[in-house]
Amino acid sequence: MRSPFPSFLNHNKILLFKICIILFINCATYRTNLCFTKCFGEPTGDPPIQSSSKLLSSLETISLDGHFSFKNNQAEAKDFGKRYHMLPLAVLHPHSVRDISITLKHIFQMGSGTELTVAARGHGHSLQGQAQALRGVVINMESLKEPAMQVHSGNLPWVDVPGGELWINILHETLKHGLTPKSWTDYLHLSVGGTLSNAGISGQAFRHGPQISNVHQLEIVTGKGEVVTCSAQQNADLFYSVLGGLGQFGIITRARISLESAPKMVKWIRTLYSDFAIFSKDQEHLISTKYSFDYIEGFVLINRTGILNNWRSSFDPKDPVQASQFVSDRTTLYCLEMAMYFNSEETETMNKRIEKLLSQLRYIPATLFQSEVPYVEFLDRVHISEKKLREKGLWEVPHPWMNLMIPRSKILDFAAEVFDKILSDSTSGPILIYPVNKSKWNNKTSVVTPDEEIFYLVGFLFSALPTSTGKQSLEYILAQNQIILDYCVRDLPGCTQYLPHYSSQDEWQAHFGSKWRVLMERKSAYDPLSILAPGQRIFQKATPVQHLVSKTNHKTSILEEENAKMI
């Protein structure tokens, strides 16, 4: 038998050579200001990681207008997804922006030796622990109410709101002035800071863009504890960083939202298609038409029975006889959902516009259903469903939701594979699908979208019962989601996740693509110690060792890039 020592020595020679190369790179680039160095923070010596008791004592020294809670913080360790439960060390209940600023400044000054991280939590509707901070500090943004909402009327109306305010409250306040925000999410019981940190998309996005395209100004507390007012004209880089920035660059403590005149009523219409190609073509036609509906969405119905009968409680069929003869058993159908806003004096004009638009579509005639509802009732429609689900104990369950953005050129292939094959059985929740116009999105923000003028949002909004063991179980739905994701990565280049979730930095780098370098530069500038939003799992809080490894890896990758250019 051969002695192991020669191979062992060879291995060590190789290892020693690699270490020499790494040291050479470090020396050669020591004076260079590289963004990843800042992203993970410069270590100040080699301090030991503080114990929980020392961290608690440190936080107790901070003078606040509000207060910390150090016990009974289980609620902040949960979210709407009901899958991740990370208990924080403390919860900050701020009464002022100063409370948030001084807390972040305190943690920043502790340096990279501390494990403390900070997550801003609005109404707790994150899906996968994004607003949680294991052994860190969670900021209860709903506690921040000062100063109160301020509505400005005029030619360019707006409303100033705290970052923890819910959109439903903004709606009620602005309606007192005859005004309303332009762009919404389907569910209004979400915080301003939460939706602006992602994008905020609903059926109005094809016309007005997402919510992040309708913001005039922000007040931000950075990862250094600095309070900064920013807009497209002032501190623009921070402004665009935070919009869609997943909480990585600062905490939104105040936002100035664009408003428009509010309607009183909504004409709400639903109709069905059996052919996806026709359905998608009609959707694209509507979002490209100048005088179209005010809201356009769609959803997929896989093996659902009695759909039209379910609609009858809220909608009237145009032809009751034809509707009663329609059968949907064992088929996949596609619902086109449209809405037009109006006031009572505009009823006749509105009906003519709708009639003209509907005449251009190729839906199944027997499935045309219409309803007239108040504007508030339409916008808050999901909350009505929430109440019913709560009564049945079906709201506080795991929600393994997945949201994708699919380029228009790939949507037919996507539908054929996912709706016809992968999801061949009835699903445990709605599937939303509707197109938007990329021209309504600002490419300077941190959001990643497909590189085509029209792309589709597809939302798999499934629920899992904890007692289920079959196709309604959490494990089955997660496995199904992964099959869909794998298909997109493998066969549909250009697709991306909305409300993204990844477990490794390589995956995040692939997600951000060409924006990755800009993302790191922004992280370097505004949160150099990676304190903020640890639940997103993009950047890990640095320790000196992690810092050195990360810095070395980044320098090596830059060297490889330069070599590739030379070749």
Cα(140)–Cα(361) distance, integer angstroms: 47
- What count of other Cβ atoms lies within 10 Å of the Cβ of residue 145? 13
Positive or negative torsion for Cα 427, 429, 434, 436:
negative
Q: Report d(CA 388, CA 378) in Å as an integer.
A: 16
CA 48-51-54 angle, 5° bins: 105
Q: Which of 309, 304, 330, 340 is nearest to 431 (CA)?
A: 304
Tokens describing residue 385: 């469903």
In whole angstroms, give the CA distance from residue 562 to residue 517.
15
Of the residues 76, 115, 125, 284, only one is catalytic, namely: 125
Beta 137-140 vs 118-121: how paired, if at all? Answer: parallel
79 carries an active-site annotation: no
Cβ distance 357 to 293 under 8 Å?
yes
297: annotated active-site residue: yes
Q: What is the CA radius of gyration of the chain?
A: 26
Q: How far apart are CA 384 and CA 59, in angstroms?
A: 41
Give Cβ neighbours of residue 471 (< 8 Å, ≥ 6 apart). Answer: 425, 428
Q: Which residues contact 27 (CB under 8 A, 6 or more apart)?
A: none
Tell me which of 297, 337, 380, 527 is the catalytic residue: 297
Counting Cα atoms < 13 Å in the Cβ hemisphere of 254 gives 21
The pair of three-digit structure tokens given for residue 562, joined into one six-digit string: 């330069």
Q: At what angle do helices 97-109 and 52-60 cross, to 10 degrees?
A: 140
CA distances 236 to 216, 239, 241, 416, Å, are 11, 5, 8, 42
Q: Provide the β-strand partners of residue 221.
A: 227, 251
- 466 and 398 Cβ atoms separated by less than 8 Å: yes
- Does the bond joining 147 to the residue before it have cis omega, within 30 degrees of 0? yes
Largest pairwise CA distance in the chain: 97
- Smallest CA-to-CA distance from 136 within 87, 195, 190 is with 87
The Cα–Cα gap between 218 and 250 comes to: 11
Q: How far apart are CA 109 and CA 99, in angstroms?
A: 15
Catalytic pick among 106, 172, 173, 186? 186
Which tokens belong to 231? 């807009």
Give the tokens for residue 468: 């289920």
DSSP state of 532: B
Alpha-carbon gap, residue 79 to 120, rounded angstroms: 13
Catalytic residues: 125, 186, 297
